[in-house]
Chain A
Amino acid sequence: MAEEKKLFKVTIDNITLDVEPGTTILNAARQIGGEVVPPAMCYYSKLEGSGGKCRTCLVEVAQGSTADPRPMPKLVASCRTTVMDGMVVKNITSERVVDARNGVVEFLLLNHPLDCPVCDQAGECHLQDLSYEHGKEGTRYEFKRRTFPKHDLGKYIQLHMTRCILCYRCVFTADQLTNKRVHGILDRGDHAEIATYIEKSLDNDFIGNVIDVCPVGALTDKTFRFKNRVWFLKPVDAHCNCSKCSGKVTLWYRGDEVFRVTARKDQYGEVEDWICNECRFEKKKTSDWIIEGPREISRHSVISQGHYVGMEKPKEPLSEVLNGRQPKLLMDIHSISEVNKPGKQLSMIDGPAHSTDFQSETK
């Protein structure tokens, strides 16, 4: 007979629950859910070994365990600290934690350029959310922000090294999903950067997942680059029969165009299933997919703006009143407007659109 597992009793923000030994504080908090969960920029539950880099998940341990009830002297990273029996953890109830988190956000933003209007990650960026909640209005940093020579990572992935917060998630992704990692973090300290050392493109079948994994806009989808803003797109769950991956994805629609394909992300921004490059970059037609339905987006997210879930469209009564005649449209916007022309498929351009793309189309 299997021995009954001893569960550890842990109290997080005055909520007590029993968790299995070996669970980290962060995962215990995630079992509770809600505001108790510390934010995490580098920890990724699907990646082994991730966490412990960004320090945003710092929590205060007010009581180490029942056996040793002394508080831990410093704030601990909740993603790397496992729970002990009788541990009492303070997250948002502790002033020290909130203060420390504000400081961490300020540190993360030291070198992070505030180019959110340009960045494709804006709207689904974890650092944006975090700094919105914890950040200060201005920066106290007076020096030049670090810059890097540009690296080309191939036709699929765009690297913006200045935006990187060195969370190592993409390194773990490449290690654990692909058989050979070709990119990594070079140099150290202020010079540390993501690169391939010798200019090499990332072209493994699963390397596209680094885009989903990146908490900021350092690694973005080149096929989606500057095409549209995420909050104008409508996420739709879809799947396909893919021989390489699960094929479960989210399609991001604007009108009838699929602007980008991503993996499905849960409430913590972590993907549910990894998807392959073919699904992500090559299948940008509705006919490639079996649509399941609109994806639920948290209503606090800017992506949910203008998405009326469960909306009932009122019936157009005019044709009934007019004995079946359709109302005469005085102006079809597409006959005048240059934007979103029906015949033109911006999503079908490989990379970002350039002035040359628009010149050829006006002729």
Chain B
Amino acid sequence: MQPLTNKAKPVDRSPMTFVESLYLWNIAKGMMITLKHFFKKKPTFQYPEQKRPFSKVFRGLHILNRDEEGRERCTACGLCAVACPAEAITMEAAERLPGEEHLYREEKYAAKYEINMLRCIFCGLCEEACPKDAVYLSETFAPANYNRKGFIYGKPDLLIPHPVNEPEAYQQALGNRAKATQN
């Protein structure tokens, strides 16, 4: 058959000479390539001491937001759950009792709110659907776990720290991105 390109080279099967069989030149050639990489910029990040900068639109673990007074914003309207293409979000609503006004912003709130991180595809549609600014995708990702049950995130895992009672943790949870947009 006629070769289609001129790139085909016949394999040289002639026996090696003595100098060639010492492989000295070839070893030096290989070492040169290795040496060259010593002086190149290293792409490795020493996680967890070093962290890779995230892109501005990175979508990580969800947080349930609170308002300035620390009341939960979520009213369990179910729009995040209906928007979720992976059907990862489930919730149960309850009515706010008199005396619970400092806990919940509206008369209806999510008594249970769960995100199954095994199902979640981090598309951010819940964040977009939320009419109450309650659910946000943060700059962290779900940590590894030994068990599947560790990926069912309930309200205690998702809620942002209280801005009045724990201001430091709250500021930390806000992340750099939120601070940049606030200023």
Q: Chain A residues in contact with chain B, CB under 8 A?
A: 115-118, 122, 225-229, 231-232, 302, 305-306, 330-331, 333, 335-340, 346, 351-358
Contact indicator A226/B90 (Cβ below 8 Å): no
Q: Chain B residues in contact with chain A, CB under 8 A?
A: 75-79, 81-82, 90-95, 97, 100, 106-108, 111-114, 116, 131-132, 148-149, 152, 154
* A357–B92 CA distance with the chains assembled, in angstroms: 12
For A337, what are the chain B residues with a Cβ–Cβ distance below 8 Å? 90, 114, 116, 152
- CB of A360, distance to nearest CB on chain B (Å): 12
Contact indicator A232/B93 (Cβ below 8 Å): no
For B111, what are the chain A residues with a Cβ–Cβ distance below 8 Å? 353, 355, 358
Would A302 and B90 be within 8 Å (CB), given that A117-B75, A333-B152 are in contact? no
* A354–B78 CA distance with the chains assembled, in angstroms: 18
Contact indicator A226/B148 (Cβ below 8 Å): no
Contact indicator B108/A226 (Cβ below 8 Å): yes
Main secondary structure of the interface of B (DSSP, over half): mixed
Minimum CB distance partner of B147 in chain A? A331
- CB of A353, distance to nearest CB on chain B (Å): 4
* A306–B82 CA distance with the chains assembled, in angstroms: 9
* A358–B91 CA distance with the chains assembled, in angstroms: 13
Contact indicator A118/B116 (Cβ below 8 Å): no
Q: 5 nearest interchain CB pairs?
A: A117-B77, A229-B78, A352-B95, A339-B90, A353-B94
Would A117 and B107 be within 8 Å (CB), given that A339-B92, A353-B92 are in contact? no
- CB of B96, distance to nearest CB on chain A (Å): 8
Contact indicator B97/A335 (Cβ below 8 Å): no
* A355–B112 CA distance with the chains assembled, in angstroms: 10
> In the complex, which of the residues B79, B91, B108 contacts A339, with contact meaning CB atoms closer than 8 Å?
B91
For B107, what are the chain A residues with a Cβ–Cβ distance below 8 Å? 118
* A140–B106 CA distance with the chains assembled, in angstroms: 25
For B131, what are the chain A residues with a Cβ–Cβ distance below 8 Å? 116-117
Minimum CB distance partner of B152 in chain A? A336
> In the complex, which of the residues B77, B90, B97, B114 contacts A355, with contact meaning CB atoms closer than 8 Å?
B97
For A357, what are the chain B residues with a Cβ–Cβ distance below 8 Å? 94
* A337–B116 CA distance with the chains assembled, in angstroms: 9
For A117, what are the chain B residues with a Cβ–Cβ distance below 8 Å? 75, 77, 79, 106, 131-132
For A225, what are the chain B residues with a Cβ–Cβ distance below 8 Å? 95
> In the complex, which of the residues A306, A340, A353 contacts B93, with contact meaning CB atoms closer than 8 Å?
A353
* A354–B75 CA distance with the chains assembled, in angstroms: 13
16 contacts between A and B (CB under 8 A): A115-B106, A117-B77, A226-B76, A226-B108, A228-B78, A228-B93, A229-B77, A232-B82, A306-B82, A333-B116, A338-B114, A339-B91, A339-B112, A354-B95, A357-B94, A358-B112
